[in-house]
Amino acid sequence: MGRIVGLIGTGLIGSLWLCSVAQAASNPIRRAIACPDRLEDLMPLLLRDLPSYANRVNQRAYLTPPAARRENDPDTPGYVLLAGQPDYQALPLNSNRLLNESSSGEPSLSEPPQIFFTTLERQYASGEAVKLQHYHWLFLTQTQSYSWQLVLMFSAIGDYPTQQQPTQHLTSAPQDASQGVIAQAIRLWLTDCRAGAVEGDL
């Protein structure tokens, strides 16, 4: 009789534990949200998650066989440590390449907004870790379905740390980085955002 009571008690405790797990799963600490329509609401969430997305893209690239890598690829993947705050002050545009269509081919509603931000990255050269600050000039567009798409991105490398203005300490000229790691990470994040898989709280 005592064993039966004990088994019943254990079963009840197990059921209560499963219920509490289910309730916790249905009420996460940070709930997923609909992808923001406003750029000023979208970018802080994107930049919050960008390091983890970029590092996954980096790690995935290093799962390819060594023979398939480019000759100048380092043996150890770099890491994005953090992304800075966005700056929305636009520069004049001289190319119609940016204005007409999104990267998906869907017509855009207007001239694509420009966002400037930085990433702090740790890379490896000759077995030594080096911190570099990357400067990014991002163009996004909002399509007729109100989804955000990456149009184009330029990136440049600067010294870290520095007290100078960004334009005074860039160690490389801005290059088209629309197919680079950061751009790939942004596209993946925007896809997740459209699917409602992005958490809302900063």
What is the residue-averaged pLDDT of the chain? 76
Which is nearest to 147 in space by CA: 87, 184, 196? 196
Taking the whole predicted model, whether its pTM rises above 0.75 is answered as no
Tell me what percent of the residues of the chain surpass a pLDDT of 70: 63
Question: In the chain, what are the domain boundaries?
Answer: 1-30, 35-199
- The rounded distance, in Å, linking the Cα atoms of 78 and 62 is 10
CB of 137 closer than 8 Å to CB of 114: yes
Give residue-wise pLDDT tens across range 107-162.
Answer: 454 678 999 999 999 988 777 888 999 999 999 999 878 789 999 999 999 877 65
Give the residue with greater pLDDT, 92 vs 112: 112
Find out whether 154 and 180 touch, Cβ atoms under 8 Å: no
Distance of CA 32 to CAs 23, 148, 164, 187, Å? 16, 17, 39, 18
Residue 4 has pLDDT above 80, yes or no: no
Q: What is the pLDDT of residue 122?
A: 92
pLDDT of residue 70: 53
The tokens for 35 are: 């992808």
Least confident of 19-28, 30-39, 60-69, 190-199: 19-28
Helix, strand, coil distribution of the chain in percent, nearest 5: 35, 25, 40
* Both structure tokens of 9: 């008690």
pLDDT at position 45, please?
97
Question: Which tops the pLDDT comparison, 111 or 74?
Answer: 111
- The Cα-based distances of 10 to 17, 18, 43, 191 in angstroms read 10, 12, 49, 44
For every residue of 4-70, which 3-state class applies, written as one string? Answer: HHHHHHHHHHHHHHHHHHHHHHHCCCCCEECCCCCHHHHHHHHHHHHHHHHHHHHHHHCCCCHHHCC
